[in-house]
Amino acid sequence: MGTLIMTTQLAINGKRLWQSLMDLARIGATPKGGNCRLALTALDGQGRDLVTGWMREAGLTVRVDQVGNIFARRPGRDNSRPPVMTGSHIDTQPTGGKFDGCYGVMAGLEVMRTLNDAGVTTEAPLELAIWTNEEGSRFVPVMMGSGVFARKFPLEVALAARDAEGKSVADELKAIGYAGSEPVGGWPVDAYFEAHIEQGPILEHERKVVGVVTGSLGLRWYDVTVTGMEMHAGPTPMPVRRDALYAASFLLQAVIDIARAHPPHGRGTVGEIHAHPGSRNVIPGQVRLTVDLRHEDAQRLAEMDSQWRQVCQEVARRHNVQVEIKDVQHFPPTPFDPGLVGKVRESAARRGLPAMDIVTGAGHDAVYMASVAPTAMIFVPCKDGVSHNEIEDAKPEDLEAGCNVLLDAMVARAG
């Protein structure tokens, strides 16, 4: 009965959580109040040093694996049990914010510190992870550390990846002192929780504090090449033209229309478009564009895919161009574990926090971890739904609330 009372009364220290986030944000701070700590740069190394220092101060045992993932363990009463894990990343985009990723790591650390202060030992051990190169802006593949851990691609592929200057992950890991010796993954994890800012506007708009994340949107990426014919913009009459850019404009419209026809979770984006040869008085002969389609439901994502392919055929025929589609990436939708999702929902309710179910439209380490262990995520609102931006912001009280939910969920699972 003693432990029951203690568990329900445990609360994290919101001030300490906020202070840790602000201290970490000093490393790689940008003039507009954001962060630039690209994966495996010297600044990323400094960030890792700072956080692993805090981990050790909290009595955690720190290990680093061969792709530079960091794990900090808090022993349980029964250390033969697999750990209940939480984590996220501390690398950022070039003009990133202070909260994306960092919040999940600092929230996990705050959970450990809170349990230390309260003198609570869980049955199962707890583990805090910092995943290498989640953002993917310096090295591809994105979500690299968790991807190798979850056997989505081999360690060798990750280590051989090079940045724009030709520097490899393997060399840069060594340079910052995080080329660990532990094999990557292959050990059991009991459960994985990840707290994260929403990176979208829904929670703020609905005036909710906690997003109970039920799963992630599936995604299909395509590289599309439209080929027409370059001709002089002056002498060539309109009916005989094979204008690749004009044809591509219909594809662009179609991507948006297809997403809109699958509400509320359909998404469609053309993020890049390049017209060749890019001259004022030449009819564009070739256009390359990227297409990103997403949906939470596998069936409906498949429908979006077939509609998209049909549109490409129609546009090719109607505008006398070739449309070539290359499939670049396909992540099926990932539903999270209903049991863990339930624990997140229960905790929010017990603490009287306004909460709603939500899906994640962004990729997260948790999406890979869902194939290793039962997984759930906790979202908190971010200001105006903005992230991957220096002005990314979140309220201390919301961050505190999400961290309390993480604490409850981890303790409930670990016993």
Q: Which is nearer to Zn ion, 305 or 390 (CB)?
A: 390
**Which residue of 101, 268, 284, 285 would you call a contact of Zn ion, by CB under 5 A?**
101
Report the phi/psi class of residue 201: left, alpha or beta, with left for phi > 0 and alpha for psi in -120 to 50.
alpha
CB of 248 to Zn ion, least distance (A): 32
**Which residue of 100, 204, 292, 398 would you call a contact of Zn ion, by CB under 5 A?**
100
CB of 404 to Zn ion, least distance (A): 20
Burial bucket for residue 359 (CB in 10 Å: 0-12, 13-18, 19+): buried
Q: Which stretch binds Zn ion (CB under 5 A): 98-106, 113-121, 138-146, 164-172?
A: 98-106
Q: Which stretch binds Zn ion (CB under 5 A): 96-104, 137-145, 162-170, 181-189?
A: 96-104
CB of 99 to Zn ion, least distance (A): 9
Q: Which is nearer to Zn ion, 104 or 125 (CB)?
A: 104
Q: Are 99 and 394 in contact (CB under 8 A)?
A: yes
Q: Which is nearer to Zn ion, 100 or 400 (CB)?
A: 100
User: 314: which 2 tokens?
Assistant: 């129609």
Binding mask 48-87 for Zn ion (x = CB under 5 A): ----------------------------------------
How much helix, strand and coil, in percent to the nearest 5, is found in the chain? 40, 25, 40
CB of 92 to Zn ion, least distance (A): 9
CB of 402 to Zn ion, least distance (A): 14
CB of 119 to Zn ion, least distance (A): 32
Q: Which stretch binds Zn ion (CB under 5 A): 36-44, 100-108, 212-220, 336-344?
A: 100-108
3-class state of residue 243 by DSSP: coil
Residue 310: partners with Cβ closer than 8 Å, 6 or more residues away:
none
Residue of minimal Cβ distance to Zn ion: 101
Tell me the C-alpha distance between 84 and 65, whole Å: 18
Closest of 144, 153, 179 to residue 65, by C-alpha: 179
- Count of positions on this chain that bind Zn ion (CB under 5 A): 2
Q: Are 393 and 197 in contact (CB under 8 A)?
A: no
Tell me the C-alpha distance between 191 and 415, whole Å: 12
Per CB under 5 A, residues contacting Zn ion are: 100-101
